[in-house]
Amino acid sequence: MKRLLASTAVMLALALPALAQDYTPDPAAKPGGSITVTYKDDVATLDPAIGYDWQNWSMIKSLFDGLMDYVPGTTTLRPGLAESYEISEDGLTYTFRLRAGVKFHNGREMTAEDVKYSLDRVTNPETQSPGAGFFSAIAGFENAGPGGLSGVEVVDPLTVKITLSRPDATFLHVMALNFASVVPKEAVDEAGADFGKKPVGTGAFKLAEWTLGQRLVFEKNADYWRPGVPFLDSVVFEVGQEPVVALLRLQNGEVDVPGDGIPPAKFTEVMGDPAQAARVVVGGQLHTGYITLNVTIPPFDKLEVRKAVNMAINKDRIVQIINGRAVPATQPLPPSMPGYTEGYAGYPYDPEGAKALLAEAGLADGFETELYVMNTDPNPRIAQAIQQDLAAIGIKANIQNLAQANVIEAGGAGTAPMIWSGGMAWIADFPDPSNFYGPILGCAGAVDGGWNWSKFCDPVLDAKAAEADSMADPAKAEERLKLWSDVYMGVMEQAPWVPVFNEERYTIKSERMGGEDALYVDPVSIPVNYDYVWVKE
């Protein structure tokens, strides 16, 4: 930190809390051992530029590193492959100083060229990365292609300078995303399109075995640059496992972490058994489940109608449907997200008030509409609860029970009047309030095919959001969060969404698993931070 602060004469350094760099793993932790983790769905890819699924997100985190990282179990940034960084006063230039002597799994030392190559690769349209858009602030993003990004420059083998075309207060979070992982060019060239099956990174684990459709084995990277981690010698992932069966195998001592959690049908039974409940870790999640009201489809173009729907929904009852594994939501941001407006109660549950609002809008007799929902449990049951709540104020909502891809299609095309977001709901990519706005509430997402299913577009709020994201100066962090809070309060005034609940995570683990609880509900490495957990025997 000293070196960083010494250079602030002309450059402004974003100081991190001292603790951030000195995370001390559990002193009781013992190295060695192997754990078994199960998932229902197969692992599609381990290419950090492509992977964007529930199961591969944390796996990729353990195989690769980016310039930035998070303190385990928290949302606090810490440097990763970068040893230090400096931000210019105008917030447009980031200079990262890399750690020396970091080796890829193939034995070669990582350099600034690799950082540039990786950022060029993820933004190159030919890579088809679902995360390319996160890097849009980097200069030259519009012309990204085989030629690379003009804004990423190798200064010397251990220094890389990134120039932005506009200030981006979230840029360090972006550099901590899986999509910003550093990959070695020669390994990508050699594997070609199969890089996702033959990943080579700098991470705490390396891929030792992959039997397609059955299992993957991660093996400890003995040369890992963070001393002392990982603790486990190996992690075995078994895929294609039904969550109910995974739980039975856990109870039988064959599985250590069922990656898909506790299935709804077994939840009461598990929580009712003190021995099992003691092994469940509960944590918040950067998630909001919501109903979108399409402001371009009458009568949802009327503010009174949208407010009425907000007041008609009994959120407590919906939370009961999912065994109480959530808290009712008042606003788009989840409570654990910076920028969340404390003390804002949201729209009250008030069917009478809702009816009065409908009458005000000239719809005293109600109307008929459609509610789109994804066809996997518990979403159809939640949709039925919404349907009943709406019926109570005279709105007849017909449920359209469809496969995920079809709901997303209808939402993007703007043909769905109402959508319950369950199964497709927004989980933050990184812990910053801006991540809940652009694609889902901003004008940019309100286009054909965008994820803003309300098609809500308010240029005034958009301008405010843009202003907030340009406040890269850490001294203005508080002011920036206040601005974001204003943006979301502005959204609530216009009610394009009914925020319904914020899911909590319930992770169950085997008796022999060690490490602090926070590692099992890590907000970034979902579901488990494999690098820091350990086994007791």
Partner 1 sequence: MAAYLIRRLIQSALILLGVSFITFFLLFVLPADPVRQIAGRSATAETVENIRQQLGLDKPFIVQYGRYLGALLQGDMGRSYLQKTEVADLILSRLPATLLLMLGAIVCELLLGLTMGIVAALWRGRALDQTLMVTSFVTVSAPQFVVSLLLLYVFAVKLGWFPIGGYGTFAHLVLPAVTLGILGSGWYSRMMRSSMIDVLRADYIRTARAKGLTRARIVLRHALPNAILPVIAMIGIDIGIFMGGIVVVESVFGWPGIGQLAWQAIQRVDIPIIMGVTLVSAFAIVLGNLLADLIAPLIDPRIRLR
> Is 108 among the residues that bind partner 1 (CB under 8 A)?
no
Select the residue interacting with partner 1 from 444, 508, 528, 533 (CB under 8 A). 444
Alpha-carbon separation of residue 14 from 96, 171, 265, 388, 477 (angstroms): 12, 12, 47, 51, 11
Helices 459-469 and 477-494, packing angle to 10 deg: 160
What is the distance between the alpha carbons of residues 325 and 285, in angstroms, rounded to a whole number?
A: 11
Could you write out the three-class secondary structure of 93-106?
EEEEEECCCCECCC
Select the residue interacting with partner 1 from 296, 323, 401, 406 (CB under 8 A). 406
Name the residue nearer to partner 1 (CB basis): 310 or 400. Answer: 400
Give residues 360-389 in contact with partner 1 (rule: CB under 8 A): none
> Is 100 among the residues that bind partner 1 (CB under 8 A)?
no
Q: Which tokens in the block code for residue 507? A: 């992770």
Q: Are 218 and 55 in contact (CB under 8 A)?
A: no
Name the residue nearer to partner 1 (CB basis): 130 or 362. Answer: 130
Q: Binding marks (x or -) toward partner 1, 30..49, rule CB under 8 A?
A: ----------xxx-xx-x--
Select the residue interacting with partner 1 from 19, 364, 405, 463 (CB under 8 A). 405
Give residues 161-200 in contact with partner 1 (rule: CB under 8 A): 193-194, 196-197
**Distance in Å, CB of 4 to partner 1, minimum:** 31
Name the residue nearer to partner 1 (CB basis): 298 or 449. Answer: 449
What is the distance between the alpha carbons of residues 213 and 234, in angstroms, rounded to a whole number?
A: 19
| Choices 17-25, 217-225, 277-285, 440-448; region in contact with partner 1 by CB under 8 A | 440-448
**Distance in Å, CB of 456 to partner 1, minimum:** 16
Name the residue nearer to partner 1 (CB basis): 196 or 261. Answer: 196
**Distance in Å, CB of 463 to partner 1, minimum:** 19
Size of the site for partner 1 (CB under 8 A): 55
Q: Are 196 and 64 in contact (CB under 8 A)?
A: no
Select the residue interacting with partner 1 from 134, 171, 205, 530 (CB under 8 A). 134
Q: Is 41 left (phi over 0), alpha (psi -120 to 50) or beta?
A: beta
Q: Which residue has the tokens 């193939």?
A: 106
Q: Is 262 left (phi over 0), alpha (psi -120 to 50) or beta?
A: beta
Name the residue nearer to partner 1 (CB basis): 110 or 419. Answer: 419
What is the distance between the alpha carbons of residues 66 and 176, in angstroms, rounded to a whole number?
A: 6
Q: Which tokens in the block code for residue 369? A: 């509409």
Q: Which amino acid is at 319?
A: V
What is the distance between the alpha carbons of residues 431 and 68, in angstroms, rounded to a whole number?
A: 13
Q: Could you tell me which of 320, 325, 243 has the C-alpha nearest to residue 287?
A: 325
> Is 19 among the residues that bind partner 1 (CB under 8 A)?
no
> Is 147 among the residues that bind partner 1 (CB under 8 A)?
no
Q: Which residues bind partner 1 (CB under 8 A)?
A: 40-42, 44-45, 47, 50, 52, 125-126, 128, 130-134, 136, 193-194, 196-197, 211-214, 238, 240-242, 244-245, 248-249, 251-252, 254, 403-406, 408-410, 412, 426, 429, 438-440, 444, 447-451
